[in-house]
Amino acid sequence: MSARTVFNHTLLAILLATALWPVGIQNAHTQPVLPGQAIEKALFQLKEMDMHLHAGMEREVPLEEWVDLAVADGRKVLVLLDHLELYRQTPEEYAAWAKERGFEQRYPVGSEGHRALMEDLARMRERDDVITFRGWEIYEGELDTGIEPEPMRLAEVIGWHISPNNGGDPPNGQTLLKRIGQIAEIQKDFPVPMIVFHPFSMRLENIQATAGKQGRDLANLTVADYRFFQPGEQERVIDFLKGSSIYIEISRSTGRYWEDPVVREALLADIRPLAEVGVQFTVSTDGHHVESAKRPFEPERYCEPLGIAPRNTNTIVRELLALRARSSLAQPITE
């Protein structure tokens, strides 16, 4: 048995014993006790994780250099992904799109592009300075209109893009409840961790954009204007996410709004109760550009007051490692 096989078998045994959700949560008032968190070094810190880093058609530099930038700022775990809808362009549309934005045409379109991207991202697993996983970001509307199964089967993680819906109703508690219900159904056929991308910051974007178009002074917006949840909705979200592999993202864009005390009060009221009872989160830069990658990532500034800490952001990492270890096991030959 090779050293790698021994490592994989040992890792699988450990992770399957520790990565599971605590089944003892009974209601929104019960404090969970998460397993496998007694050793501090076994938890990646917030700054060390970026579970939403764009690394495909919009990438401005070679992939190795792009990952180097993240590692230089302290990242130890990355989910590398791209927008699935970009690969539905025709070759002519892709060429025009890339030229307009100054991007190199790095991947084909269609199924050939899906495979090329995922193979490229899989190469990053050879690095010994960072753990990487590959995924897609998919627009939430596809939960209503229908999904594209083939590329989804290539991913280790799938994130669902919650839109600010500027010009329409902003995301809210009902939006989140609808989407996590749909995601749970999709997950039955695609058994990988799934993330609800940036729902809270997308509401903030919509509220402020709408106020600006109406000529309202942002200083006059209230906590009630910003609040994501209505009474009873948080409890329903908690009940739905309890024991699931559906995660809620707190993205870097949250930091843009955090210094406003009114917004901060709304975020605390919306998010901290979820964190306190064990809802699992992810943190990310949602990075697209080199310029943003060169700015330090400081999620602790807004995550820690919200109750989001390594104890409720490491579960997805452990789950992904367990799934990878399990897939590395030799499969029995069947007649």
Domain CATH code at residue 165: 3.20.20.140
Alpha helices by DSSP H, listed for the chain, are: 3-18, 63-72, 91-101, 110-123, 142-145, 149-152, 173-187, 199-213, 223-226, 233-241, 254-258, 261-276, 290-293, 300-303, 315-327
Task: Give the number of other Cβ atoms within 10 Å of residue 238's Cβ.
Answer: 19
- Asked if residue 2 is part of any domain, the answer here is no
Domain count, the chain: 1
On whether residue 90 sits in a domain, the answer given is yes
- In this structure, which amino acid lies at residue 210? T
Per-residue model confidence (pLDDT) at position 35? 62
pLDDT tens, N- to C-terminus, the chain (335 residues): 444 443 444 444 444 434 434 333 334 444 555 666 778 788 999 999 999 999 999 999 999 999 999 999 999 999 999 999 999 999 999 999 999 999 999 999 999 999 999 999 999 999 999 999 999 999 999 999 999 999 999 999 999 999 999 999 999 999 999 999 999 999 999 999 999 999 999 999 999 999 999 999 999 999 999 999 999 999 999 999 988 999 999 999 999 999 999 999 999 999 999 999 999 999 999 999 999 999 999 999 999 999 999 999 999 999 999 999 999 887 665 54
pTM strictly above 0.85: yes
Domain residues for the domain of 151 are 29-314
- Look at residue 322 and tell me if it is in a domain: no
Per-residue confidence (pLDDT) for residue 22, from 0 to 100? 39
Token pair 């974007």 is found at 205
**In a 3-state reduction of DSSP, which class is residue 186?**
helix
Q: With respect to residue 297, please indicate whether it lies within any of the assigned structural domains.
A: yes
DSSP string, 227-271: --PPTTHHHHHHHHHTT-SEEEEEETTHHHHHTSHHHHHHHHHHH
- Residue 323 is assigned to a structural domain of this protein: no
**Is 13 within a domain?**
no
Would the CA dihedral through 226, 232, 236, 238 be positive or negative? positive
Distance CA 247, CA 267 (A): 17
CA distance 252 to 297: 8
